Structure 1
Amino acid sequence: MRSLLVIHSHSGHVSGREHAGSSWQAGPEQLLESNGYLTLRCRNESEIKQLIHDADAAVLNIPVGKIGMWSGRLEQAKAIPLLWWCSAESALSPTESCEANVPVDGILIPSMAAHELNWVLHFSAKRFFERQHWRSERKQLTARLEERKWIDMAKGILGEVNGIPEAEAYDLLRKKAMNERKRIVDVAISIVRAHQMLKA
């Protein structure tokens, strides 16, 4: 992980030193670049699609409550690890704004030493791949449950129309799928939809 997309909550952000009277706060760019990382500054939403393809991860310098919205936008362009920049300012956000499903893989703080930063980025990448794996498994499980629903409905229809038990209805459905060289769920969907049209 060498190249990081840095997203700020407002487009007029100036990286590095932020002047607020006589004080300044180091931004994520300063921490990352001083430790040998390349930063890609995202000034507005339209730049995401241009910059994200060169990024290994994204650092969100935004309030906690906006993380969900921004993660969705980033996900549409490219799935990458997400890290939250927890500055003194953003840490003042109320804890209620941190939803249980906020997809953050790691947290960066301004006072991090080089070895701490390296470990956080390492564990963030690992957490991201685990999150992607679980998301993929959940998607597959949801698809299987949806397929099972169509197959069960088709078995019920075939059983009712032919006056046969469920086991025989399933065998009939399976044979029909084999004969038509189709997936059993595709045959089941066509049976259910044809039945619904006849009943309408």
Structure 2
Amino acid sequence: MRSLLVIYNQATGPKASTAAASKTPLPETVLRACGYSVAQAHNRVQAKTLIGDAEASVLHVPLSDIREWGTALLQWKAVPLLWWCSDETAAESLEACEDNVMVDGILTPSMKAQEVHWALHFGAKQCFERQQWLDERKQLLSRIEERKWIDMAKGILCEIKNISEAEAYDLLRKQAMNERKRLVDVATSIVNVYQLLQEQKQRKGAKRP
């Protein structure tokens, strides 16, 4: 990992730094001294443009801003998110210290090259595990959603054809094989058609005097 993207917001940008904060080395200064290639972004447009070449993002923002930034960054590219904990950002984060912060690691201005290296290494590992968990969660939710449609379709077939759930499932599976479609797609189609027919019946019933 050699290419990093340092992200500021308006409050923590170099131009907005106070005299006290200016005594603390900026993230890009420390990271470049450690041998890393560093790009800087001060808004979402710049971050979206630069994130493609970055292997990790270093957020020089208060903790309260990390969730918003993290959500946006992960939509563009899944990279480790590390918080730059300086005196300035730490002071601005006192009220957010109990929040569930979405970061993979912390960097500080006092870190030496080896410490930065290992923080980034473990941050990358944490990012991979977090992404794996998110993928597994997405797959689980997808399977739950598919099961909902299949169960609904089975119920409709049981009602219309007066058959058991096992027979309804076999019917769904055979139709999916014949049409070369996924089981859930066939189930969804059956449910949608049934609901449409029910709505039409209700409208016709409402029009009768």
Aligned identity (percent) is 55
User: Contact conserved, 2:12 with 2:89, CA < 8 A, in 1?
Assistant: no
- Report which of the two has the higher share of strand: 1
1:184 maps onto 2:183 in alignment:
yes
Aligned equivalents of 2:5, 2:74: Cα separation in 1: 13
Aligned equivalents of 1:48, 1:74: Cα separation in 2: 8
Residue 96 (structure 1) shift: 3.7
Which residue of 2 is the match for residue 123 of structure 1?
Answer: 122
Residue 84 (structure 1) shift: 0.2
TM-score of the superposed pair, with normalisation by structure 1? 0.92
Residue 179 (structure 1) shift: 1.1
**1:21–1:195 Cα change, 3 Å:** closer
Higher radius of gyration, 1 or 2: 2
TM-score of the superposed pair, with normalisation by structure 2? 0.88
Aligned equivalents of 1:22, 1:163: Cα separation in 2: 75
Q: Which runs of 4+ in 1 moved over 6 A?
A: none
Which residue of 1 is the match for residue 105 of structure 2?
Answer: 106
* Higher deviation after alignment, 187-196 or 18-27: 18-27
SS at match of 1:89: helix
In angstroms, what is the RMSD of aligned CA positions?
A: 1.9
Residue 98 (structure 1) shift: 4.6
**1:22–1:111 Cα change, 3 Å:** closer
Aligned equivalents of 2:179, 2:21: Cα separation in 1: 77
User: Contact conserved, 2:84 with 2:106, CA < 8 A, in 1?
Assistant: yes
State how many pairs are aligned: 197
Aligned equivalents of 1:79, 1:4: Cα separation in 2: 13
1:35-74 to 2 correspondences below 5 Å: 35-74=34-73
- Report which of the two has the higher share of helix: 2
Residue 43 (structure 1) shift: 2.4
Aligned equivalents of 2:123, 2:190: Cα separation in 1: 47
